[in-house]
Amino acid sequence: MIAMVAVGVALHPSIAHAQTIDPELEDAWAFMQEQMPGVPYALLTEACKEGEVMIYHGSWQDAEDAQIAGFTARFPCIQVRKQGGGMSDIRERYLAEFRAGQRIADLVQDSNSNVLDNHAKAGYLTNYVISNDSKFKDNTKSTSNWYSMRRGMAGIAWNTDLVTDAEAAKLNEWKGILDPRWKDVAAVGDISAGGVAYLPFYAWRKLYGDDFIKQLGSLNIRNIGGTNNAAAALASGDVQIVFNASETALVPLLEKGAPIKWTLPSPGVGPLTGQAVTGNAPHPNAAKLYQEYSFTTEGYALFQKLGGVPTMTGVKDARDVAAEPWYKVPTQIFEYSEEDATAAVKDVVKLFNENVAAGRR
């Protein structure tokens, strides 16, 4: 029989009573008291009884794996399973399963916060306020529904073996991608998946009009499926420059020694990636515990180190790239309505297909 330890635990600011703690859970409970203020011990015990949690995430696998490793070390009683892929595929999979009454995903992530807002309105998400809710500004969360894990910035990236510093200086502003120097050597990540690949084209259209995208068509740009694939082509030297590069894809390659750099021109373009507990989570307590861990200082920092620009108050950008002298996050961020960006997809994709996607393959 496992020995139990009785300690005084405050489950509510006005209530304190003796709480029996399983010795095997002492370390986990101590961590929760420190970084998840107010979360009850019962959540931990019930989560451990469930024993597993399933996360649906996007293409940011390295960041996800780092956070999962941290969670597993803190809560070894819970096995974490995951399903990753292109954001549109993950989104459709979750919706299809939910509507069919299949309870598979416990947590779902999305790089389009408007999608998460619509999920919440439709009852596809669980209402849950995390203990660290106050550490997120109103424009980086939807209290009781989703919280932002990062801002996934889009930038202009180049291969430093193929592009000189003088040539790269043209890329400190978005209009630098129109330079004829990039004819026949540039690529973009296909925007059909949405998210960070789509948003720059939406922003360019808003900032500079349709003609900006039409002018890109004269550069004979290579259209590559997926931001990870575009980044890999850049690192290998298959292309010299990527106009709508995803930082999430670039950072792991840089850390492995790839000859790449990038700029984040102003206004900065980057969608928020949010995470929420699903509306029909098969392991609801484990899901809430993982949601809590994701937004502790420790859990958030583990994801952020590879995931993107932090949005949690008090968390310093821990990525190695943040210390590079050439790296700078713009102070001005492109402000937009997620609803408008979603409504504009058809027109932007049409413009893209007619002028950009017809280039090299």
* Distance set, CA 110 to CA 81, 119, 150, 250, 275 (Å): 17, 11, 11, 19, 7
φ, ψ for residue 108, nearest 5 deg = -130, 140
Provide the pLDDT for residue 339.
83
Residue 3 has pLDDT above 50, yes or no: no
* Residue 141 domain-assigned (yes or no): yes
The total domain count for the chain is 2
Provide the pLDDT for residue 12.
42
Euclidean distance between CA atoms 311 and 304, whole angstroms? 9
* Residue 326 domain-assigned (yes or no): no
Kindly give the pairing relationship between strand 186-189 and strand 241-246: parallel
> Token pair for residue 57?
């995430």
104-154, pLDDT tens digit by residue?
A: 999 999 988 889 999 999 999 999 999 999 999 998 999 889 999 999 899
Residue 279 has pLDDT above 50, yes or no: yes
- 51 and 188 in a single domain? The answer is no
Residue 156 has pLDDT above 70, yes or no: yes
Provide the pLDDT for residue 31.
98
* Distance set, CA 30 to CA 23, 34, 291 (Å): 11, 6, 18
* Residue 11 domain-assigned (yes or no): no
> Token pair for residue 53?
């949690």
Q: Residue 235's domain is classified under what CATH number? A: 3.40.190.10
Provide the pLDDT for residue 14.
38
Euclidean distance between CA atoms 75 and 58, whole angstroms? 23
- In which domain, by residue range, is 74 found? 40-151+271-307
When pLDDT is cut at 50, 70 and 90, the band that residue 215 belongs to is very high
